Structure 1
Amino acid sequence: MRLSRVLRAGAVVTALALSVAACGGGKKADASDSLVDKASSAKKLTVGIKFDQPGLGLKKPDGSFEGFDVDVARYIAKELGVDAANVTFKEAQSKERENLIKNGDVDFIVATYSINDDRKKSVDFAGPYFIAGQDLLVKKGNTSITGKESLNGKNLCSVTGSTPAQNIKDKFSKEANLQQYGKYTDCISALLNGTVDAVSTDDVILAGYAAQYPGKLDLVGQPFTTEKYGVGLKKGDTKAQKAVNDAILKMENSGDWKKSLETNVGPSGYKIPDAPAITEK
């Protein structure tokens, strides 16, 4: 009888140990699953985009979304087997993008996200799917700012955590007085009310704001950097990187890439560039 009780107790302990191990193993497997596998099984995705960039990523008053980045995100999702109706968009402010990916708050990011070595330490990229250049936006009639060489003593606005803000710090900190806000819409408001002399970010972003305020803002049109927009992915997810690269190439070759840019960015007068070559592999 005593031996029987000991055997039963041992069996319970073993069963519990196996149960715990199975649970732990399940979590580990989930953590290593690729975006591709999640899309295939769950049939839904959460994508980080900008909510305040006309022509690229914009949340409209009715709660819907439009823009080139929105179209790219939906196209990628479709190629991964997820319908547009099952894509949830989450705001991805510049300073939060790496954490959104690392924490699993989004499955991928399409938010004018410039590829650089510092960011690649914590996230991976697919693409690029677009190449822009940092430029300047001024109030209509401002002839004192004609490019990067005319920033002496000027109040310049960009967004905290963005590549353009870092470029200003690195290259023009002695010339320009940089003010950093959380969103570009805050910078645009400061420009319109005269708090700052210019807003600096990528030319395609600025073109969208110029189109939003016709007759009030001018794009200087002298870009001074090259910004490769990539799709932000979880570090080490090479399966997703390949799948997203394939989706970008398909969008470009089908004509949908150019059509989206013509619809969303073309009305601003911005010259649509050629599709870039994929470099992140």
Structure 2
Amino acid sequence: MKLRKVTAASAVALTLAVTATACGSDNKNDSGSSGGGKIKIGIKYDQPGLGLKEPNGSFSGFDVDVATYVAKQLGYKPNQIEFVETKSADRENALARGDVKFIAATYSITDERKQKVDFAGPYLLAHQDLLVKANSNISKATDLNGKKLCSVTGSTSAQNIHDTIAPKANLREYSGYSECIAGLQSGAVDAVTTDDSILAGFAAQDKYKGQFKLAGLKLSNENYGIGVKKGDTTTVNKINTALEKMVSDGSWQKAVSKNFGPANYKNEQAPKIGNIVK
């Protein structure tokens, strides 16, 4: 009997040891730099100043800087980050499939989206605005009556202005904001509308510096959040902690100035976590 008891105890001890080893291995793989793993983060590839894939394969923009900072706080070095292009229409699916750990891509927090994903943040409060030429006399939305207003195909931004503020605005829809900005430069359109952060990012490009200005209107509130798979509250909490630190140590304002400053972007103060401005 005594031998059996010793054997049983040994078996239990062995089982516990194996279990502990397995658990330790799992934790190590999820611990970022200490485990040598990678983290996949969803961003935009085509928005200068926010999320842009450069010709040399590197990435730049405010969303990229925020994502990199957050990843560092989660334990990942820059060379462990894999940025994945997540277009607007596929963001919720990318999170649900597990293609990415989180998404930082001008992702406005809305009640409808919160049914499908969880959000950390917000980390930026943007507004719908107008981008016009530096010498333009357009200073308010009603000045658009009789003017050519551009936005991208399928966007509601220009339609909202036409329907509610400037019914005589002449709408132009292009396939992308790059085309709208080029049209503004050539005089084909008089103004471009979308989020002020997006407009500022384009206007801050070297080839456009000094040519455009933001009208400074606040036609909507866009609370940019970091999207996380529904139910992953642990990651949401970790990201929120990282965002709070980014603001407190000055890194947030530094990223804003670097990416939007050349367009004279008058940003709002960093929003408080969980404070959604309607």
The partner residue of 2:221 within 210, 220, 226 is 226
Partner of 2:80 in structure 1? 86
Deviation track 1:113-171 (CA, whole Å, cap 9, x = no partner) reads 1111122222221100111111011234332x32222333544333456xxx3344456
SS for the counterpart of 1:124 is strand
SS for the counterpart of 1:265 is helix
Q: Which runs of 5+ in 2 are unaligned?
A: 1-25
Confirm or deny that 1:238 pairs with 2:233.
yes
Superposed CA RMSD in Å reads: 2.9
| Alpha-carbon shift at residue 88 of structure 1 (Å) | 1.2
Stretch moving more, 179-188 or 114-123: 179-188
SS for the counterpart of 2:110 is coil
Distance 1:82 1:93, change over 3 A: same
The partner residue of 2:196 within 190, 203, 207 is 203
Paired residue type of 1:172: H
Partner of 1:133 in structure 2? 127
Listed as ranges, the matches of 1:136-215 within 5 Å are 136-143=130-137, 145-159=138-152, 165-170=155-160, 172-173=162-163, 175=167, 176-212=169-205, 213-215=208-210
Listed as ranges, the matches of 1:1-281 within 5 Å are 37=30, 43-143=37-137, 145-159=138-152, 165-170=155-160, 172-173=162-163, 175=167, 176-212=169-205, 213-279=208-274
Paired residue type of 1:263: K
SS for the counterpart of 1:48 is strand
How does the TM-score come out when normalised to structure 1?
Answer: 0.75
Paired residue type of 1:227: E
Residues 49, 89 of structure 1: 8 Å contact kept: yes
Distance 1:42 1:263, change over 3 A: same
Paired residue type of 2:256: L
Query: Quick one: distance in 1 between partners of 2:89 and 2:146?
Result: 26
Stretch moving more, 62-71 or 215-224: 215-224
Equivalences, count: 244
Query: Quick one: distance in 2 between partners of 1:122 and 1:90?
Result: 20
Partner of 1:7 in structure 2? none
Distance 1:78 1:187, change over 3 A: same
| Alpha-carbon shift at residue 244 of structure 1 (Å) | 0.9
Residues 262, 272 of structure 1: 8 Å contact kept: no
SS for the counterpart of 1:126 is strand
SS for the counterpart of 1:173 is helix
Residues 41, 83 of structure 2: 8 Å contact kept: yes
Query: Quick one: distance in 2 between partners of 1:249 and 1:262?
Result: 18
Distance 1:63 1:126, change over 3 A: same
Query: Quick one: distance in 2 between partners of 1:156 and 1:80?
Result: 43
Paired residue type of 1:275: A
Query: Quick one: distance in 1 between partners of 2:225 and 2:192?
Result: 23
Residues 122, 224 of structure 2: 8 Å contact kept: yes
| Alpha-carbon shift at residue 68 of structure 1 (Å) | 1.7
Query: Quick one: distance in 2 between partners of 1:238 and 1:139?
Result: 44
Deviation track 1:84-139 (CA, whole Å, cap 9, x = no partner) reads 11111122333332233233332211111111112222222110011111101123
| Alpha-carbon shift at residue 77 of structure 1 (Å) | 1.0
Distance 1:195 1:38, change over 3 A: farther
Paired residue type of 1:277: K
Query: Quick one: distance in 1 between partners of 2:81 and 2:176?
Result: 23
Partner of 2:9 in structure 1? none
Partner of 2:3 in structure 1? none
| Alpha-carbon shift at residue 39 of structure 1 (Å) | 5.4
